[in-house]
Amino acid sequence: MAFPGTSKPVKVYEGIVPQLALAWLLHQGDDIVPIPGTTKVKNIIDNVGSLALKVKQEDLKEITDAVPLDEVSGGSDLGILYKYCWKFANAPLK
pLDDT exceeds cutoff 70 at 59: yes
Domain boundaries along the sequence of the chain: 10-88
Residue 13 to residue 27: CA distance in whole angstroms: 14
Model pLDDT, residue 5 = 62
**What is the widest separation between alpha-carbon atoms in the chain?**
46
The mean of the pLDDT values for the chain is 74
Residue 87 to residue 29: CA distance in whole angstroms: 13
CA dihedral 49, 50, 52, 54 (to 10 degrees): 150
pLDDT tens profile 40-53: 898 888 888 888 88
Model pLDDT, residue 37 = 82
Helix axis angle, 57-66 relative to 17-26, nearest 10°? 110
Confidence of residue 77 (pLDDT cuts 50, 70, 90): low
pLDDT tens profile 21-41: 888 888 888 888 888 888 889
φ, ψ for residue 61 (rounded to 5)?
-65, -45
